[in-house]
């Protein structure tokens, strides 16, 4: 299988090997990946909870989004970069890991879920800013987001338990 061979090659490049064998750099990158959850997923939770009218109901939805997103986007960038580095360092081992595959799948679905919200609900968001009822579709994307991120986190953790 070509992809497995590519991953094997990637994992054995001097860069990847150096990363894997580094005493401090690898732990720093992995630690950053985990702790940056707070500035990515942790911030998105605010938005999801607002859409589900579970928190910050006094704040207009569009305001919550515009205030939080500028901080969440760099957070996701950190997650992506650290995640990529972690992948490169262990490419073959991780590519063949079942939990990792599902994690990536769910990440892609989460991305599409966010895109769907952007296209379908974002343009009209201000209309239900302080409305007592939020469109069912918007609420659904929020619920899906919460479930997906919980699953992604759990899958990431469980990756280590498949030798």
Partner 1 sequence: MGDILQHLWQLSYDSKTVDILRNTKYAIPMIQSFHLFGITLLLGGMVILNLRLTGFGLQELSMNSLGRQVWKWSVGGLLIAMASGTLVFVPDPARYAANYAFRTKMVLLCAAALFQFTVYRRAIRSQGAGARSRANTLVGCLSLTLWFSVGWAGRAIAFLG
Partner 2 sequence: MKRKTFAASVLFAIIPAFAHHSFAMFELTKDVTYEGTVVDYRWENPHTHIIVKVESDAADKSTVGTWDIEGGATNIMGRQGWNRATFKPGDHVKIVAHPMKDGTKGASLFYAVLPDGKRLYHDIARPKGEGSSNP
Binding site for partner 2 (CB under 8 A): 17, 20-24, 26-27, 30, 89, 98-99, 102, 143, 146-147, 150-151, 154-155, 158, 160-163
When asked if residue 38 is in the footprint of partner 1 (CB under 8 A), the reply is yes
Which among partner 1, partner 2, none contacts residue 139 (Cβ within 5 to 8 A by kind)? none
- For tokens 């939805």, the residue is 61
Scan for tokens 């879920």, then name that residue.
Answer: 113
User: Residue 62 or 158: which CB sits closer to partner 2?
Assistant: 158
Sequence-ordered list of residues with C-beta below 8 angstroms from that of 33, at least 6 positions apart, any chain: 78, 79, 82, 83, 86
Min dist. Cβ of residue 65 to partner 1 (A)? 11
67 binds, among partner 2, partner 1, none (CB under 5 to 8 A by kind): partner 1
Please identify, using beta-carbon distances, which residue of 26 and 80 lies nearer to partner 2: 26
Tokens of residue 69, six digits: 């997103």
Q: Residue holding tokens 């992604």?
A: 152
CB neighbours of residue 121 within 10 Å = 20
> Is position 81 an interface residue for partner 1 (rule: CB under 8 A)?
no
DSSP summary character for residue 58: T
Residue 161 as a binder of partner 1 (CB under 8 A): the answer is yes
C-beta atoms surrounding 11 within 10 Å: 20
Report the C-alpha gap between 128 and 160 in whole angstroms. Answer: 43
> Which residues touch 111 (CB under 8 Å, ≥6 apart)?
none
Among 4, 6, 21, 31, interactor with partner 1 by CB under 8 A: 31
Residues near partner 1, by CB under 8 A:
26-27, 30-31, 34-35, 37-39, 41-43, 45-46, 55-56, 58-59, 63-64, 66-68, 71, 150, 153-154, 157-158, 160-161
């Amino acid at each position: 299988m070509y992809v497995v061979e590519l991953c094997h090659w990637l994992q054995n490049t001097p860069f990847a090997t150096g990363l894997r064998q580094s005493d401090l750099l690898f732990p720093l990158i992995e630690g950053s990946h985990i702790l940056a959850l707070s500035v990515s997923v942790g911030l998105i939770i605010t938005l999801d909870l607002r859409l589900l009218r579970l928190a910050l109901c006094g704040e207009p939805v569009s305001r919550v989004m515009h205030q939080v997103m500028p901080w969440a986007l760099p957070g996701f960038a950190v997650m992506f970069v650290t995640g990529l580095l972690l992948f490169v360092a262990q490419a073959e081992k991780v590519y063949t890991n079942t939990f990792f595959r599902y994690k990536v799948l769910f990440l892609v679905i989460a991305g599409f879920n966010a895109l769907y919200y952007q296209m379908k609900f974002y343009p009209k968001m201000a209309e239900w800013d302080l409305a007592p009822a939020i469109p069912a579709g918007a609420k659904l994307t929020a619920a899906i987001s919460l479930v997906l991120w919980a699953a992604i986190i759990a899958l990431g953790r469980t990756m280590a338990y498949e030798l």
